[in-house]
Chains A and B, each alone.
Chain A
Amino acid sequence: MVERITPLLWLLFSAGGTVAALLFPVHLFLTGLAFPLGWLEAPRQEFLHRLLTHPVTRLYVLVLISLPLFHWAHRFRYTLYDGLQLKHLTTLIAVLCYGAALGGTAMTAYLLWTIR
């Protein structure tokens, strides 16, 4: 069943990879290194909260979190399958990977929907 939607999964993988390549370096640098180490000032919660009330920002954050999760799911699935030769677990791996990506997307969507 998963095989019939392989082209869609590959497109999600590609889109997620592009989002991760373009946006993750700057976000990770700021949030993970520059802000905690004090090189630059971290934004305040009120500012970020206000940004998140805009529909454009909500869409941006959804794309930012969801697509790279699908990128990971597709790539990690093949890495486990080929790298560790876990052929007998192929369905379980697919379900766990894409399931986690779907779960992450659902959580993000829920949080973005309920932010006031």
Chain B
Amino acid sequence: MSAEPHYTLYHPRWYRRRVSVWWWLQNRSYTRFVLRELTSVFVAFFAGLYLWQLHAIAQGPEAYGQFLVRLKTPFFLTVDAVAFFFVLFHAITWFNLTPKAMVVRLRGKRVPDWVVVGSNYAAWLVVSGAVALVLLRG
């Protein structure tokens, strides 16, 4: 007898679609997600701005004065306004999402989400008020 016949199992050709590089534009939720992630760029921008201000303060009153003048230019005013909205978007999405990651249990029952979110916003108000009070005294 010759060697056993070799059968190849019939395997149909599967179709795999490649994910487009524009995947984040195909869906409103995806676009909102990417915008949320891009708020980090404006966060970094402001951290850099504060670093610049720190440098100016360290160098003395003239440097600080120049810094203040620079911030009054239309370019910086526009960029700062845009950055402010993105930072606000970051803060709101961040506070709304914290209860997902931090589940607080008191006496066996889960604390409802709105309590956690509410305390975030309350803390935000308190802290912002404190910072404003300090900075507006000088």
Cβ of B55 within 8 Å of any chain A Cβ, yes or no, is: yes
**For B40, B43, B87, which residue has the most chain A Cβ atoms within 10 angstroms?**
B40
In the bound complex, do residue A23 and residue B80 qualify as a contact, i.e. CB atoms below 8 Å apart?
no
Total interface residues on B, using CB and 8 Å?
52
| Contacts of B45-59 to chain A: CB distance below 8 A | 46-51, 53-55, 57-58
Q: Which residue of A lies closest to B34 (CB)?
A: A83
**Within the assembled complex, what's the spacing in Å between the Cα atoms of A84 and B127?**
37
Query: Is the pair B54, A21 in contact by a Cβ cutoff of 8 Å?
Result: no
Indicate which residue in B19, B51, B60, B72 contacts A45 across the interface (CB closer than 8 Å): B60
Given A23-B131, A48-B57, the answer on whether A36 and B76 have CB atoms closer than 8 Å is yes
Taking CB as reference atom, which chain B residue is nearest A44?
A: B138
Contact A68–B54 (Cβ < 8 Å):
no
Candidates B46, B61, B80, B124; contact of A22 at CB < 8 Å:
B124
Asked if B84 and A17 sit within 8 Å, CB to CB, the answer is: no
Measured in the bound complex, the distance between the Cα atoms of B87 and A99 in whole Å is 23
Q: How many A-B pairs with Cβ below 8 Å?
A: 160
Q: How far is the CA of A22 from the CA of B121 in the complex (A)?
A: 9
Which residues of the other chain, A, contact B106 by a CB distance below 8 angstroms?
none
**Residues 17 to 48 of chain B near chain A (Cβ within 8 Å):** 19, 21, 24, 34, 37-38, 40-41, 43-44, 46-48
Q: Are A31 and B49 in contact (CB under 8 A)?
A: yes
CB <8 Å contact, B47 and A68? yes
Residue B3 at the chain A interface, CB threshold 8 Å: no
**A residues in contact with B57, CB < 8 Å:** 45, 48-49, 52, 115
**CB-defined contacts of A104 to chain B, threshold 8 Å:** 47-48, 51
CA–CA, A115 to B40, complex, Å? 29
Chain A residues with CB below 8 A from B68, complex form: 35-36, 42
The 5 closest A-B pairs by CB, nearest first: A47-B138, A32-B80, A43-B138, A72-B44, A26-B128
Q: List 7 A-B contacts (CB under 8 A).
A: A28-B46, A31-B49, A37-B77, A45-B61, A61-B50, A68-B43, A104-B48
